[in-house]
Chain A
Amino acid sequence: MSGVKAFVADFGLPRIIIAVFLLALFVIAPFVGVSLTSSFINVTARFGMNGIMVLAMVPMIQSGCGLNFGLPLGVIAGLLGATLGIEFGLTGIAGFGVATLITLTLGAIFGFGYGKLLNRVKGDEMMIATYVGFSSVMLMSMAWIVLPYKSPTMIWGFAGEGLRTTISVEGFWDKILSNFLAVRIGPEFVFPTGMVLVFAICVALVWFFLHLKTGTAMTAVGSNPVYARASGIDVNRMRLVSVVLSTMLGGFGILVYQQSFGFIQLYEGPFSMAFPAVAAILIGGASVNKANMVNVFVGTFLFQGILTMTPSVINSVIKADFSEVIRVIISNGMILYALTRKTKVAR
């Protein structure tokens, strides 16, 4: 009995409830006419697509900057990278590579400014981050119209200028990672090895970074900034590094997302990225100032699993389209839950 209690305390009750719920959905699925195979396809694809954006939460959480609600800023870097790649007419590996390079550069620049800003609002990072996300999306919504893109695949056909809301990456780098080393299991199910592999490599890199002297200092800054300062750490610099890292990861994350999804979503697209990522890492068991790689894996899998399974199963049961409602309730409910349980490190 005490063993069970210890396990519950260790793994976290919400995580257990959600895992059990997900399992139940998988069990029910075949009985209500939802194909298990297509469910698995969806879950693995979404797991790979969203994983890196969830990972983008980790550096900022570790350095005490809180949850990265400003993820849209990184996403915008990714959108600029992708659209510029297409504008240059590059396809395949070269296109994706150039898009990645541009994304990482822009992500570093954006992250630097964003980090400088967050260093001035210590204590209110998450609120300010939310506003940074919102305002950058709005600013870019105007920019997408006026930026001098010329590629006919991207601009509005009737006006001859301004980017479309959705741009297909078909013919450029559609599924370039997903299809790399893809393994066919059964008639329908194809495991997107390349994409999951890239996700795993990113996780390994972040893990490696957090294990370095600098990463250790970053964790200490998040754990107790005064202690870190007394140990000779430049607290602001560490926070800045973490924000830059988070923003760059967010940018690369959206590139991976796009190649699997097949489309670049501009304008208000980045809005819908931050909250699911925040919810996922919280479901994974992270707190507002502690996160690890297990949280990323478990959280992404559970959250994307629920998101995929709940609508299809429940829609089949009650014969109505609830998918969007349920998605919103779950992701926002989870954030709300996690924030109410936000405990400041006892001082």
Chain B
Amino acid sequence: MRGRIARSARRPSGRARRGKATMNSIEPILSLRGVGKAYDGTRVLENVSFDVLPGEIVGLVGENGAGKTTLMRILFGMTVIAETGGYEGQISLSGARVSFKSPFDALDAGIGMVHQEFSLVPGFTATENILLNRESLESTMLVDLFGKRMSVLDRGLMDRRASKAIERLGVPLDASMLVKEMPIGHKQFTEIARELDRENVKLLVLDEPTAVLTESEAEALLSALKILASQGIAIIFISHRLHEVLAICDKVVVLRDGKLIKETRNEGLTLREVASLMVGRSLEKAATIRPVSERPSGTPILEIEGLWVDMPGETVRDVCLSVSKGEILGIGGLAGQGKLGLPNGIMGLFPAGGSVKLDGKSVPLNAPRKTLDAGMAFVSEDRRGVGLLLDEGIDWNIAFTAMQVKGTAVIPLLGGLFQWRSDVAMRELALEYIAALDIKCTGPHQRAGNLSGGNQQKVCLAKAFALKPKLLFVSEPTRGIDVGAKRLVLDTLRRYNREYGTTIVMVSSELEELRSICDRIAIIDEGSVAGILPPEAPIEDFGLLMAGRLAREAAAKEAAK
């Protein structure tokens, strides 16, 4: 082991070695051939093949849902893969075909994985975390009597091992510091050092390692990765921060919709190119978007100033946005950047602050009822959790909110002293929307929980339409529903916008979907609006807005040259 590292250390660094690598003189550490995977008939990965050479850093990029996670799950032998029917194709490690039954097999074979979320014990020191469950043990007399469980820790050896792992990283990390007292960057280093302590580690997979780091921490991490690569360890680096990928990777692999779109050396690659590879299907010209001249502009219906929302995983930091009356505004961006926090915060489902004005009148935040009364409605991305009463019938689901907010289907008794729920009126309302939105069901009393995803989504839309809102927020309206239902949902939104003049703000992870229906598209990045584009804007512009501020700056510099 030690010999191999020593040899590779003498080797020239990654970039200089490239000429040699292309000649295939070195056996790849990892080789994927025709790897594919489908969950319940939905294809998420198709015929992916690429090689990773020793000491090479491969950047794996792709939008959310491009198949990166699935690919890593397969590689790491996660049990979820086997439980859902295994995968296609073959994976070889150092020339030998492998098929891992569990992550432990993958670890034994020399693959280290660093996840986006930390899996560290906060109350332990860096050393203890690095060597967790692999501690150096010292035998005592009790071992002879009761077996290995009675051995004690050899602290001295453990410290040396931990320092060695940290040394390989080349970062200033205090091995005796408690993890809970560390800055976030050091936690990430501890995670990596843990993988390095495994003597046989040949391949390191890092899933969005810089997502939680500050810029300087990220830089330190990147240089540490270069040092590791120079020691002969192959690295798969997954990130949506494209400038980081271009800064350190020898090779870039682009996944899109489960297919390998491009595998290319990082030579003369520009951010723009990668961004467009990542997001861009060549869009068949959507005839459904409004021509530019007919797009509503001017009179703002909703004005947002300095909005922040504390929604876990989707924090909104500072959003200023103005929505014109009658338009369909799309909100896009990568997962975790805060696009979902926007509607959830305005509708009062998560703590929020800032100023929101509807028709010039200020709308109080953190009060769901007030926003509903003001004339806004929300179709949540969490259909089953927030959107529906799964145990109640379609009629309840559609009529309930309108009943509470607008008094729909309510009969006043004794001069309004009692507000009687009219089951007949609820049924009629439900029947009206079942017909209007073509909801497939056995009748208005069918439990919402028994409907298919697409029909559940239609019920959620009907619930919002029943409020006759001035402004409708729709969040991920096509998530988890099939293609046919998607089309219907989008058509319905378009129809309500055109026929009733309902202003719609639609949040979606699927850029193509936004570009097929919206009048303008705002991209949210790191909790604020990165930019607003018309739907016809070139695809790489969208990609750049999503790729982060630094990437945008770098692209601007490229363009200036």
Contact = CB atoms under 8 A, between A and B. Distances in A.
Interface of A: 208, 211-217, 219-220, 223-224, 226-227, 229-234, 290, 345-347
A216 B349 CA distance: 21
Contact of A220 (B373, B389, B407): B389
Contacts of A346: 384, 390, 449
B486 interface: no
Contact of A230 (B378, B384, B449): B378
Contacts, number: 79
Given A227-B386, A232-B373, A216 B421 contact: yes
B386 A213 contact: no
B391 interface: yes
B401 A232 contact: yes
A345 B390 contact: yes
From B349, B392, B420, B421, name the one whose CB has the most chain A CB atoms within 10 angstroms. Answer: B421
Interface of B: 347, 349, 368-370, 372-373, 378, 380, 382, 384-392, 396, 400-401, 403-405, 407, 410, 418-421, 449
A233 B401 CA distance: 9
Contacts of A226: 349, 382, 385-386
A212 B421 CA distance: 5
A345 B384 CA distance: 10
Given A216-B403, A217-B404, A233-B404, A227 B387 contact: yes
Contacts of B400: 216, 220, 227, 231
A230 B391 contact: no
A227 B448 CA distance: 13
Q: From A224, A229, A233, name the one whose CB has the most chain B CB atoms within 10 angstroms.
A: A224
Contacts of A212: 418-421
B239 to A, nearest CB: 32
A231 B420 contact: no
Given A211-B420, A217-B404, A345-B390, 20 more contacts: A208-B418, A211-B421, A212-B421, A213-B419, A216-B400, A216-B404, A219-B392, A223-B389, A223-B392, A224-B388, A226-B349, A227-B386, A227-B388, A229-B349, A230-B380, A230-B386, A230-B387, A231-B372, A346-B449, A347-B385
Interface of chain A, main secondary structure: helix
Given A232-B373, A346-B390, A213 B378 contact: no
A232 B391 contact: no
29 contacts: A208-B418, A213-B403, A213-B407, A213-B420, A213-B421, A214-B419, A216-B403, A216-B421, A217-B404, A219-B392, A220-B400, A223-B391, A223-B392, A224-B388, A224-B389, A226-B386, A227-B386, A227-B387, A227-B388, A227-B400, A230-B347, A230-B378, A230-B401, A231-B372, A231-B400, A232-B373, A232-B404, A233-B369, A345-B391
Nearest to A213: B419
Contact of B369 (A208, A223, A232): A232
B372 A232 contact: yes
A214 B421 CA distance: 9
A345 B391 CA distance: 8
Contacts of A230: 347, 349, 368, 378, 380, 386-387, 401
Nearest to A227: B389
Given A211-B420, A213-B410, A214-B419, A231 B388 contact: no
Chain A to chain B: the 8 pairs with minimum beta-carbon distance, closest first = A232-B369, A213-B419, A231-B401, A232-B372, A223-B389, A347-B385, A232-B368, A226-B386
A231 B349 contact: no
A231 B368 contact: yes
A220 B396 contact: yes
A234 B401 CA distance: 13
Nearest to A287: B391
B285 to A, nearest CB: 37
A115 B407 CA distance: 27
A220 B404 CA distance: 11
Contacts of B410: 213
A211 B423 CA distance: 9
Contacts of A220: 389, 392, 396, 400
Contacts of B370: 232
A49 B398 CA distance: 40
A232 B405 contact: yes
B405 A231 contact: yes
A10 to B, nearest CB: 14
Contacts of A234: 369
Nearest to A290: B391
A235 B113 CA distance: 43
B466 to A, nearest CB: 11
Contacts of A217: 404
A304 to B, nearest CB: 29
Contacts of A290: 391
Nearest to B399: A216
A234 B410 CA distance: 19
Contacts of B388: 224, 227
Contacts of B396: 220
Contacts of B403: 213, 216
A345 B349 CA distance: 20
Contacts of B372: 231-232
A63 to B, nearest CB: 14
B315 to A, nearest CB: 20
A130 B520 CA distance: 56
Nearest to B413: A212
Most A Cβ at <10 Å: residue of B373, B387, B400, B449 = B400
